Chains A and B, each alone.
Chain A
Amino acid sequence: MDESAEKGFEEEIIGKNELRDKTNGIIYGGGYLLGVVALDNLLMSKDRFEIKYFFVSGRRIKSLAFLPGDSFPSLSDICPSAKLYEREIADMFGIMPLNHPDLKPLMLFPENWDAAVHPLRKDYGGVKCIGPDFKRYGEYKYKKVYGDGIFEVPVGPIHAGIIESGHFRFSLRGEPILQLEIRHFWKHRGVEKLCEGKSLSEALKIVSRISGDNSVNITLAYLTAAERILGINVPQKVKHIRVIFAELERLWNNVRDIGFIFMDIGFNLWAQNLFVVLEDILRMNKSVTSHRYMFDIFRIGGISDTAYIDGAKAGDIAGLLEKVKDELKKAEKIVLNSPSVTDRIELAGKINKKTAQELSLCGVCARASGLKRDTRIEIPYLLYGENIKIEPAAFEEGDVFARTRMRIKDAFESIKIITSLCRSLPGLLPEAETAADKEAADAASNTIAAGIFRAGGREAIGNAETSRGNAFFYISTDGEGKIYRLKYIDPSFRNWPAIQYGILGDIIADFPLVNKSMNLSYAGNDL
């Protein structure tokens, strides 16, 4: 096995000054930024900091790694999606991006935290936030629009209804939105720091709770990385079952999100129809995996006992999906054929293809804006690219209508995949082989216990396509197999800034609809 297959990416060590040229080369070659990971090598006796840029380029993941010292050149002009990552690194490591256009703190709010606090450094001892003490260390400056008759509407971070915390600041002239500034990261949990020093199986429980509704797929991305580090090849049947659960989660997410669109245009009749279907799926999740949101159904190298699917359970799943399919077909008919609905969602929240490219969007938002980005096709994992062939699909319009249709398409595709896998599952491996499977899995976990780590540790990445887009994990371990650095990048982290552009030209009354059509996660965004 060569190095890149083992880690999941090809690394190129470059000098700090080459970064901009190399990035330009990759972007002009059709690549896009997947994520930026910074490391503090204080305990590894190298140069202190290291930054890795991960790009998707021609169905491979390419990484540019360099040693920044205490500053590095900002890429925000040639690759605008790097902006948030650079701000994050400035906050968490204190490495400064030079020539960054908007370098205010991202996660450590100036009202609460001293500018010298950098929690992801290895020598960070832990400082208790004294706040809320406003303007203790400074003030967060919002972008202002000046002019006659222009006013600001601050929304959140406390919302009506059951919505997570996020602050949206609109500058309006009457109803039309002139500018929207999003300020998130109100409930930072420190997941990355928390995982450091834990073993890979201990961290599994933490990462599966990063964002509840994408638990399965985020866990899969983690497991891909963890199993690469441990050198485990999972058996075919485990892959089968994992894909079934991954697609099941994508399906219920999409059904809920289509329902949300109906709810937000005040068409509760159809929203309720879909929520009934959603409840059926969740109840089936419970009966199959003993958890409605399918938490903790995987372990490293296998499937946990409670979530094991046999032929009868596979039949149940396939049976329910027939009903789901019928309901979705009805909903699709309403979306496409009723003028009152199309009038409401067409042209609302339009994200141009160029914007989507520059912001390196992923998932439904990218596919609705004409970019055929799907992790399952670009960076295949599990059975994708082997047994399951997915046609790359995209809509060009980039509006709420396109995103809704994209979700319906995704949902149908998930149903197709699950149904075919459920059908082939009993034939693939008879029940009698279950014991042998377990033995293989046990052997795999024994190798974990035996310790297969080289001195200096290992690193690997893992990807999975959630219903919102690509979930990305970078894990590096120390010599004892404990996690040295864990970085998770949620699709929501990449896609949140897009709303700021999609909403321009719309009126403020349409914002909730546009927001709901993307349905991004606050929890995944803010680790």
Chain B
Amino acid sequence: MAEIGLGLFQFFLILGLAPFFAGIIHKLKQNFRGQKGIKITQFYTNFFKLLKKEAVISSESSYISKIAPYIILSVNLLVLGILPAFYRYPLFAPLSDIIVIVYALSAATFFITLYSLDQGSPFGGLGGEREWFLTMLSEPSLIFIFVALAIYSKKGMITEIFYYIQKNAAVAVSNGFHGHFSIAIPFMLLISLFILGLSENARIPIDNPETHLELTMIHEANILEASGKYLGMLEYSAYIKLSIFLTFMSLILFPYMAGNAAELPFAVLLYLFKMLMLCFIIAIFEVLNPKMRLFRAPNMLSVAFIISLIAMILSVRGV
């Protein structure tokens, strides 16, 4: 019972903080550029405002437009429920297979592109095409990252994988670095995951989340026609997805999951610290880089692919 309670706490904490993480990246970017910037709570305001607004749906669209936002949101919620962000037994722990995570995220992409095509707007088609172009290139790397982790720890469930790394890291730190623990593999996977995180979450240098130019959009073009509560749901899904990737990075960076209620306060604080640090790094990275050409994106994603491939080969050797 306590497990479910703490699992629920973990689930709702991240769910509630998702717009905050997106907001803080935006705010930091604006402050770095010398702009006054939005309020950190701006994205909450936007979300609740959108819920109150009327949803306009194109008369050309089918039932897909009505159900896709729900599906996208629930798939993202499912992955969120699997994450052992700071507590070892997440809400949907039995589902936490690595394959489920990767393909749940793909399912969300599938439905968002289906949604974009259903609008009958030319930008939707462009956005959907670009989304798949990037997903096609980033999905293999994402699978490799999780397979590398699975081979490395010889576990198939995400909760067990990170617990294994946490345990062995602790052992390695206290006993010196010999035996079967490698720093290199998580480190390489972190770099790979960072690149994928930028690509999957429509960040600079792949996509520019702040642009108003329809022709250059990738993620935004998909939801250009959305309005009202549907837009709210789709935007919230994007915040959740960003939090999922940041949480994975934080877990690879330094896994510390509380096993019981007593350890929880420290785990939560550590988690928030890691997340804010990652937000800070992403903001710096985005401020210092221009957006690259669309067809340069494969170069960057292939770097991620090679790194995760090497990490997987190393983990097979068991270094």
Contacts and interface: CB of A to CB of B under 8 A. Distances in A.
Interface of A: 151-155, 159-161, 174-175, 262, 264-269, 272-273, 276, 340-341, 343-344, 507-513
A441 to B, nearest CB: 44
21 contacts: A151-B122, A153-B126, A154-B122, A160-B212, A266-B208, A266-B210, A266-B290, A266-B291, A267-B290, A268-B33, A269-B33, A269-B288, A272-B33, A272-B34, A341-B290, A343-B293, A508-B126, A508-B215, A510-B293, A512-B216, A513-B216
B205 A511 contact: no
A154 B32 CA distance: 36
Contacts of A174: 129
B292 A343 contact: yes
Contacts of A511: 215
A268 B212 CA distance: 13
Given A266-B208, A340-B289, A153 B122 contact: yes
A72 B245 CA distance: 67
A87 B133 CA distance: 42
Interface string B283-309: 000011111111110000000000000
Contacts, number: 75
A266 B35 contact: no
A512 B216 CA distance: 8
B234 interface: no
B214 interface: yes
A458 B207 CA distance: 58
Contacts of A160: 212-214
B214 A344 contact: no
B216 to A, nearest CB: 5
Contacts of B130: 509
Contacts of A268: 29, 33, 210, 287
A175 B298 CA distance: 15
A264 B213 contact: yes
B59 interface: no
CB-CB nearest 7 A-B residue pairs? A266-B291, A161-B212, A267-B290, A153-B122, A266-B208, A512-B213, A265-B290
Given A266-B208, A273-B34, A512-B215, 4 more contacts: A161-B213, A267-B291, A340-B289, A343-B296
Contacts of B289: 266-267, 340
A160 B214 CA distance: 7
Contacts of B122: 151-154
Contacts of A340: 205, 289-290, 292
A205 B123 CA distance: 41
Given A174-B129, A266-B204, A266-B208, A509 B292 contact: no
Contact of B291 (A161, A269, A344): A344
A277 to B, nearest CB: 12
Contact of A276 (B34, B123, B291, B296): B34
B175 interface: no
B23 interface: no
B174 interface: no
Given A272-B33, A343-B296, A265 B215 contact: no
A161 B129 CA distance: 24
B128 interface: no
Contacts of A159: 214
A509 B210 contact: no
B129 to A, nearest CB: 7
Interface string B114-137: 000000001101100110000000
Interface string B32-65: 1111000000000000000000000000000000
Nearest to B122: A153
Nearest to B218: A509
A13 B118 CA distance: 62
Nearest to A272: B33
Contacts of A161: 212-213
Contact of B214 (A155, A265, A269, A507): A155
Interface in B169-215: 204-205, 208, 210-215
A343 B291 CA distance: 10
Nearest to B294: A509
Given A151-B125, A509-B216, A272 B291 contact: no
Contacts of B287: 268-269
Nearest to A348: B293
Nearest to B129: A174
Contacts of A507: 294-295
Nearest to B34: A272
Nearest to B33: A272
Contacts of A265: 290-291
Contacts of A175: 129, 294-295
Contacts of B290: 262, 265-267, 340-341, 344
Interface string B129-162: 1100000000000000000000000000000000
Nearest to A154: B122
A269 B210 CA distance: 13
Contacts of B292: 340, 343-344
Which of B32, B129, B215 counts the most chain A CB atoms within 10 A?
B215
